[in-house]
Amino acid sequence: MPPTPSTPQAAPDVAAEAARRRTFAVISHPDAGKSTLTEALALHARVIGEAGAVHGKSGRRAVISDWMEMEQARGISVTSAALQFEYAGHVVNLLDTPGHADFSEDTYRVLAAVDCAVMLLDAAKGLEPQTLKLFDVCRHRGVPVVTFINKWDRPGMHPLDLVDELEQRIGLRATPVNWPVGEAGVFHGLLDRNDETLTTFERAPGGARIAVEATLAAAEAKERHPDEWDTALDEVALLDDVDTESFLAGQTTPLLFGAGVVNVGVRQLLDTLVSLAPAPEARPDADGRPRPVDAPFSGLVFKVQAGMDKAHRDRLAFVRVCSGRFERGAVVTHAATGRPFATKYARTMLGRERETIDIAYPGDIVGLVNANALTVGDTLYADGAPVSFPPMPSFAPEHFVTARTTDTGKAKQFRRGIEQLAEEGVVQILQSARRGDGAPILAAVGPLQFEVATTRLSQEFGVPVALDNLPYGLARRTDPDAVAVLDAEAGVEVAERRDGALLALFPDTWRLASVRRRHPDIRLAPLVAGA
Ligand code: GDP
């Protein structure tokens, strides 16, 4: 289909501003070092000043974003949604993803709002379950992936074994940007593949600042570390050079080594993102038509959260600007309802202050307060230039409970609260004909989501809630004419999701297989993450 034409009122600087943006998220298994790397990246861009003081997180409540923790620990203000900084003439937007696997559904949604992902691996562990899941989502959504092997300051796997693992387990060919000289743990520096220099690092006093880097020419590097230098050259020669086309196509991954905690390799990662990661591009709308970045303003709501002020039960919506120039104060249209939405109170929470944001460009993240009408997946657009982006996918839940309020006088508040949590995407809500309106099924990717739901229902809505576990572990999508047959099967229940999808719930894959054998004609389609 032809692209939507740009209109003359689009500001001429939009395309140039979009071109210098890099919007990405870090995906990793918990403890690989995401928070540490985030601080180190921001430090390099001089937003935070000095990294390092707080890396421990014992006793951390998993529901608290690491970034909120950083904010408290340092008295700085970073949003729990995005951190923005300038680097080398570019504007970098780093979107936060929750650390705990139970909140991976939030991460999936964030991946709908980025142009690139950094896959962070622990050098001693390689690919871990959560990394694999998130990588699948990237692949599904066509998000290109840069790989950063972290914790190279201590013993780990052999670099070639890590490369093998990437290729064997996820079919991703690694193309090194740099290569370690010396083994993990006894490490002399990074061979820069581009110009065959060695970057050495010296820990700054206290280890809290940017590592002091020195660059040695090849001859000097060889003189200092003759064997290790030759080994590094030999090893890296086995692997292909970085290739932009296959990287963007998801076939190769630029590979870097480093150690976030001592700021090693962090500059190289930023340089790689700036030079290789894609800038915001035309985004396909719900009809598959690409909307150019210089078309009038449009944005996608990818995260909704309860406002900080509990008394007002305000909702904060985070919007990724997809096209055009966002100007605070402009009245935009909410595609789902056709109603106007005032952006007078747009916020960014970057740098030291929660600031009001006046202008934002494609790739930037804007926080909108008073966003009670907005839900995850919604589109906003400038008047006169309607667009809807495809709905945000819902992910395959693996945990199911029924919820009811123990205070019968609060049925109304209970329903309202449940509705609100569903709109925010805290949990998925299913209705089953077997259970009344007062006992919806809550479905989640991870059980901590239920904890958040019950805490919020009691604190924000004053509704005491009891949950009962349901003996299901997986859901499959089915059709209306199969409901009666499936509901008659022992251990199987069919429920309707808010988006109208019919989900058949099964205890396990064995039960699913036996139902399939008996009813080969019934559609039982997997709910693929990202589908
Ligand atoms: P997250 O769960 O992925 O956010 O991980 P954190 O950033 O909280 O780091 C988990 C642990 O790994 C902490 O104890 C960090 O100090 C440690 N860590 C992070 N980066 C490095 C690194 O480059 N080298 C070493 N040795 N430890 C690291």
Task: Enter the ipTM.
Answer: 0.99
Name residue, tokens 């104060």.
329
> Which residue spans of the chain are classified as CATH 2.40.30.10?
296-382
User: Using CA atoms in the order 338, 342, 345, 348, what is the torsion angle rounded to 10 degrees?
Assistant: 50
pLDDT at 65: 38
3-state SS track over 492-525? CEEEEECCCCEEEEECCHHHHHHHHHHCCCCCCE
CA of 195 to the centre of ligand 1 (A): 30
Angle in degrees, CA 469, 475, 479, rounded to 5:
130
Return the pLDDT at 205.
Answer: 60
Is 97 one of the annotated binding-site residues?
Answer: yes
The pLDDT of residue 83: 82
Distance, CA 514 to ligand 1 centroid (Å)?
45
Pocket around ligand 1 at a 6 A CB cut-off: 28, 30-36, 55, 57, 66, 99, 150-151, 153-154, 259-261
Q: Is 383 annotated as a binding residue?
A: no
Write out pLDDT tens, residues 99-125: 666 677 788 889 999 999 999 999 999
Is 89 labelled as part of a ligand binding site? no
- Measured in angstroms, how far is the CA atom of residue 307 from the centroid of ligand 1? 30
For residue 234, how many other CB atoms are within 10 A of its CB? Answer: 9
98 is in an annotated binding site: yes
Low-confidence residues in the chain, pLDDT < 50? 1-2, 5-8, 10, 47-79, 349-353, 529-531
CATH 3.40.50.300 domain span(s) along the chain? 14-276
Cα(106)–Cα(94) distance, integer angstroms: 15
pTM for the structure as a whole = 0.83
CA of 42 from ligand 1 middle (Å) equals 16
Could you give the 3-state DSSP secondary structure of residue 441?
Answer: strand
CATH number of 14-276: 3.40.50.300
Distance 55 CA to ligand 1 centre (A): 7
Residue with CA closest to ligand 1 atom 11: 31
Q: Nearest-CA neighbor of 320 among 359, 263, 362, 289?
A: 362
- From the candidate CATH numbers 2.40.50.100, 2.40.30.10, 3.40.50.970, 3.30.1330.200, the one assigned to the domain spanning 296-382: 2.40.30.10
- Residue whose CA is closest, atom 25 of ligand 1? 151
Helix (H, G, I), strand (E, B) or coil at 317: strand
Query: How many Å apart are CA 210 and CA 288, to the nearest integer?
Result: 45
Q: What is the pLDDT of residue 40?
A: 85
Specify whether domain 399-526 bears CATH 3.30.70.3280: yes
Give residue 136's pLDDT: 87
Delimiting residues of CATH 3.30.70.3280 domain(s) in the chain: 399-526
Query: Cα(444)–Cα(103) distance, rounded to whole angstroms?
Result: 9
Residue to mutate (ligand 1; options 36, 67, 83, 151; most atoms within 8 A of CB): 36
